[in-house]
């Protein structure tokens, strides 16, 4: 069993929800489905293991200071696959 990451809600209003996620090595978000389009900005280098529906998984590196966006409906579990703590900020567009 993996430890859970630590989400810290920074903003939640009628337009956006902004959450910082902090992971010790091996920590996970748990399975979830995104209800909104969203943008992730890496605070640290993020060595992610993305577990996806159907049993597939993939490893990605999101370098510190970079960002990516995804559409509503993404379903996955995010795991810190690195040896150091990782953090990112997620902005959900309501």
Exposed/middle/buried for residue 69 (C-beta within 10 Å: 0-12, 13-18, 19+): exposed
Q: Determine, yes or no, domain membership for 80.
A: yes
Q: What is the pLDDT of residues 6-44, one digit of tens each?
A: 999 999 999 999 999 999 999 999 999 999 999 999 999
For the chain, the domain total comes to: 1
CB atoms within 10 A of CB 29: 19
At 32 the pLDDT is 98
Residue with tokens 């996955």: 76
Q: How far is CA 79 from the centre of its chain?
A: 8
Percent over 70 (pLDDT), the chain: 100
Whether 54 maps to a domain, the answer reads yes
Angle at 52 (CA atoms; ends 11, 18), nearest 5 degrees: 5
* CATH code for position 23: 2.60.120.10
CA distance linking residue 92 with residue 7, whole number of Å: 14
Q: Is residue 1 part of a domain?
A: no
Output the pLDDT for position 18. 98
**Domain span at 56:** 6-93
């Amino acid at each position: 069993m993996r430890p859970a990451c630590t989400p810290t809600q920074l903003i939640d209003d009628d337009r956006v929800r902004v959450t910082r996620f902090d992971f010790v090595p091996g920590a996970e978000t748990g399975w979830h489905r995104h209800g909104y389009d969203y943008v992730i900005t890496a605070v640290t280098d993020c060595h992610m293991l993305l577990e996806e529906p159907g049993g597939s998984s993939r490893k990605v590196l999101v370098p510190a200071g970079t960002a990516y966006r995804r559409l509503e409906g993404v379903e996955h579990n995010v795991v810190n696959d690195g040896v150091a703590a990782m953090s990112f900020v997620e902005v959900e567009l309501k």
